[in-house]
Structure 1
Amino acid sequence: MNQLGQVRPDPGPALLALYDEALPQVFGYLLARCGSRATAEDLTADSFLAAVRACRGDPPPSPTVGWLIGIARHKLVDHWRAAERERRALTAVGEPEPDDPWDVELDVLLAHEVLAQLTPIHRAALTLRYLDGMAVPDVADHLGRTVHATEALLVRARAAFRRDYPCSREGDRP
């Protein structure tokens, strides 16, 4: 019942009806970004459990695939944050480069392999910024950082990506 004493419809059946359609999309979204089938499976399960909890809230949401992918994005960011906390052996990094005109066409599979080798926080920043197409302030908000700190993080993450990405021509490396 809501505050007016009216019985509200149960959103559970709507979520269940959406499950078959949404499962491959949520799983595919997570797998493409984390590169690990086991991690994507765990995060998919966490996402659907969070959706069930949200449907029990007041007011209940209207479940859609986009809403579920939003939950999955948050679960992925939480996963990266936890992994980063475990790996806090950060070393000092040099000053960011002011202009960086490194423009090459990246091999998608190789790029995913390189992303998987980066620290979780670097992977999270690059994925949210370039794969999800988020603006820097939105990336900062998702990662719980200031915009300035996120810009610096993105500079370091791009440098780490370039360092590990094998270039096809000798002169391509910055």
Structure 2
Amino acid sequence: MTKSEVALIRAAQADPAQFEGLYRAYAGRVFGYLYSRVGSRSEAEELTAQTFLAALERLPHYTHKGYFAAWLFAIARHKAADNFRRPPAEPLQAAAQLGAEQDVLADFSERELHAALRQHIAALPAQHAELLRLRYVAGLSFAEIGALLGRSEGAVKKSIYRCLDRLQRQLEVEHV
């Protein structure tokens, strides 16, 4: 944890109005992670808001042990898990939401590659897909992921590299 991060946390603990600095530092990464989990922009926005609201409520009890990012992403993971337990949206509502979503990738071949990558990641065991989301979507370090999941940094690094190797081999076979 950097000194500036510790300063932001302490300031927010002393005055909740200072929480905005933490929000600005992490909102994009939390949103990206949640979007990769739920696949819907509006749901990811809602879950991001819920994550930061829960973090703000729990911040007075946060201790400076470990990584703040691991603590925050643990909250985000729980919010995503809670979201999957909810009953599904009505079909018309889901269709309208799907129609509102836009694919941000402009190039077709890049879109095709991303679709194949998403498909292969979705086929991975849940723990492996989660590791990749935390590392490449949320941008967490190996140490932060280890702290979040209760694993050593080395074990996380090895697992991620194995997943990447497996994905690369699958994509090469598919596109040859």
TM-score range, shorter chain: 0.3 to 0.5
Question: More helix per residue: 1 or 2?
Answer: 2
TM-score for the superposition, normalised by structure 2? 0.47
In our comparison, the structure showing a higher alpha carbon Rg is 1
TM-score by length of 1: 0.47
- Greater relative contact order (Cα < 8 A, sep 6+): 2
